[in-house]
């Protein structure tokens, strides 16, 4: 008699749709990471460092924004950030924040072209 084994369910990975973008470009000896939705940027020696700094700046910005919500909400160039800020503030750790972000790599000219198209 043939032995049958129960089929194990395949693991599923639940992936959230990113709502923010970090564009990373090499600029000479540095890498610049830029989040166009929040107008946050950092230049570091490696692309990973630049992304990590922008993620930290996003958290800091969200904290500042919520601490002075009335002023930011009245600011014409910052009021539209509120939905992003709320999602960032809801993240318990860097892993959750990274799930909100799509990181794209390119050259400076290519990144500016992407920004013009989007």
4-41 pLDDT, tens digit each:
666 777 777 666 688 999 999 998 889 999 999 999 99
Classify residue 78 by its DSSP letter: T
pLDDT tier, 2 (very low <50, low <70, confident <90, very high otherwise): low
Q: Tell me what pLDDT residue 71 has.
A: 96
Both structure tokens of 18: 């990113």
Q: Tell me what pLDDT residue 1 has.
A: 56
Q: Is 112's pLDDT higher than 80?
A: no
Q: Tell me what pLDDT residue 116 has.
A: 62
51-96 pLDDT, tens digit each:
999 999 999 999 999 999 999 999 999 999 999 999 999 999 999 9
Architecture of domain 20-117: 2-Layer Sandwich (3.30)
Q: Which strands, in side-by-side order, build the sheet including 101-107?
A: 40-44, 30-35, 20-27, 101-107
pTM of the model: 0.80
Helix 82-89 with 47-67: angle, nearest 10 deg: 110
- State the residue for tokens 């920004």: 115
Q: Tell me what pLDDT residue 106 has.
A: 87
Q: Tell me what pLDDT residue 28 has.
A: 84
Count CB-CB contacts under 10 A for residue 77: 8
In sequence order, the 6+-apart residues with CB closer than 8 A to the CB of 52 are none
Q: Identify the burial level of 114 via C-beta atoms within 10 angstroms of its C-beta, where 0-12 means exposed, 13-18 middle and 19 or more buried.
A: middle
Cβ-contact 72, 61 below 8 angstroms: no
């Amino acid at each position: 008699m043939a032995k049958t084994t129960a089929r194990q369910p395949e693991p599923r990975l639940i992936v959230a749709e990113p709502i923010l973008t970090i564009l990373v470009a090499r600029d000479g000896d540095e890498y610049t990471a830029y989040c166009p939705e929040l107008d946050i940027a950092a230049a570091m020696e490696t692309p990973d460092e630049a992304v990590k700094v922008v993620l930290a700046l996003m958290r800091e910005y969200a904290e500042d924004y919520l601490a002075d919500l009335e002023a930011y909400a009245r600011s014409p160039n910052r009021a539209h950030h509120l939905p992003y800020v709320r999602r960032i503030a809801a993240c318990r750790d860097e892993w959750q924040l990274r799930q909100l972000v799509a990181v794209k790599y390119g050259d400076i000219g290519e990144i500016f072209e992407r920004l013009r198209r989007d």
